Amino acid sequence: MENKYYEMCKLMESSGFAQIADNWGVLLMLLIGGGLLYLAIAKKYEPLLLIPVAFGMILTNLPGAGLFNASLFEGGAVQWNIFVENAGLLDYLYLGVQFGIYPCLILIGLGAMTDFSSLIARPKYLILGAAAQLGIFVTYLCATGWGFTPEDAAAIGIIGGADGSIAIFLTPKLAPELLVPVAIVTYFCIALMPVIQPPVMKLLTSDQERAIEMKPLRTVSKAEKIIFPILVTVVVSLLLPKATTLIASLMLGNLMRECGVVERLAKTVQNGMLNIITVFLGVTIGAAATAENFLEVKTLIILALGFIAFICGTAGGVLFAKVMNLFSKDKINPLIGSAGVSAMPMGAHVSQSVGQETNSGNFLLTQAMGPNAAGIIAAIVVAGFLLSVLG
């Protein structure tokens, strides 16, 4: 009888419930994961991203499960000497994050989904995409003022590029210890773009400006669509060799889309491959958010800086569109400048939504895709610049 009682006590002590009692941070992380699932499912805030991230966060914080072991990636490097003997399922999947594989594959899929016609038709939208990267540099300055190193500040600043793939590619190279908070804050802010951006857009524009109806874009030829990804890859790579991996991934996907001779490949990368990699990336990033490395004051500071990045990026795009109107005969609706923060295609949809609140007959989506597409190119260029200077 005593032996059975002893075994029962031993079983209880080894259970996850007992381990939660020893580490209440785990319980808090489970609640955070549940909260993100609520936002993704009930509120439909970027469910494709938040559901895998939130579920991965829950998995890694289940005591004793051993699916992810942060010690195997201590110091930003894989501890190969102990990896095989101790690795769980998510540790193997996390290698795709560690080596920058998933971000590049996602960019290939994103490129295959993106129509750059609006940007090709009006190349001046590149200026709006560049202006919207103001959030990156403002956040960099704020982070350095808060005591972060230049490398850490650059990793935090890239949140303003509003693209999780770029953030996940850059951060391990500059500040590997910040990968988890930077990635999660980036996706969280992207999910909240319909909440963050509209107040800034309305504050900086008048009803008259928001109601501006823009002229239709010219028709872009197939030759232009094929030449564009090749030309952008060559120019950006020669200008900033450190950006080659990112820009080449994005433009390879777009070339597959536009050339018309590899339709099967284009459909595969923008559907099957992109969906699979999104699951792997989301779950592993969430899994890296253990109680020990996420529940820190530093994480809250990065979250605050992420909001600053998105607010300043939105303001930069809108204000520069207003400046362009001072010298342009054909007026630009300043709302499309907010789409320059990237986060394709959500940035364009937010511009469309706010515009129709003022003028229900105004259709800005096609126009906003120009700055939206320019934004991701500009964010890649900034990432390449930061890697060149600090990497």
Q: What is the pLDDT of residues 211-248, one digit of tens each?
A: 998 888 899 999 999 999 999 999 999 999 999 999 99
Q: 190 with 164: CB under 8 angstroms?
A: yes
Q: What is the rounded distance in angstroms from the CA atom of residue 126 to the CA atom of residue 248?
A: 18
Q: With bands split at pLDDT 50, 70 and 90, how would you rate the model's confidence at 17?
A: low
Q: What is the rounded distance in angstroms from the CA atom of residue 86 to the CA atom of residue 251?
A: 38
Q: 114 with 344: CB under 8 angstroms?
A: yes
Q: 13 Cβ partners below 8 Å, 6+ apart? A: none
pLDDT computed for residue 303 by the predictor:
93
Give the chain's length: 391
pLDDT higher than threshold 70 for residue 1: no
High-pLDDT (> 90) share of the chain, %:
62
Q: What is the rounded distance in angstroms from the CA atom of residue 309 to the CA atom of residue 341?
A: 10
Choose between 218 and 12: higher pLDDT: 218
Average of per-residue pLDDT across 277-300: 87
Which helix (H) or strand (E) covers residue 364, if one does? Answer: none
Q: 155 with 171: CB under 8 angstroms?
A: yes
Please, what is the average pLDDT of the chain? 89
- Span 294-312, pLDDT tens digits: 878 888 999 999 999 999 9
- Span 152-177, pLDDT tens digits: 999 999 999 989 899 999 999 999 88
DSSP state of 217: P
Average of per-residue pLDDT across 201-208: 94
Q: 337 with 318: CB under 8 angstroms?
A: yes
pLDDT computed for residue 23 by the predictor:
66
Q: 76 with 59: CB under 8 angstroms?
A: no
pLDDT higher than threshold 70 for residue 18: no
High-pLDDT (> 70) share of the chain, %:
94
Q: With bands split at pLDDT 50, 70 and 90, how would you rate the model's confidence at 385?
A: very high
- Span 246-276, pLDDT tens digits: 999 999 999 999 999 999 999 999 999 999 9
- Residue 63 tokens, joined: 């005591």
Cis peptide before 345 (omega within 30 of 0): yes
pLDDT computed for residue 10 by the predictor:
54
Closest CA to 340 of 131, 187, 193: 131
- Terminal Cα-to-Cα distance of the chain (whole angstroms): 64
pLDDT computed for residue 43 by the predictor:
86
- Residue 65 tokens, joined: 């499960």
Q: What is the rounded distance in angstroms from the CA atom of residue 355 to the CA atom of residue 176?
A: 40
pTM of the entire predicted model? 0.90
Closest CA to 225 of 61, 115, 380, 340: 115
pLDDT higher than threshold 80 for residue 76: no
Closest CA to 380 of 139, 121, 136: 136
pLDDT higher than threshold 90 for residue 61: no
pLDDT computed for residue 222 by the predictor:
95
Q: 191 with 50: CB under 8 angstroms?
A: yes
Dihedral sign (CA 275, 277, 280, 282)? negative
- Residue 117 tokens, joined: 């016609």
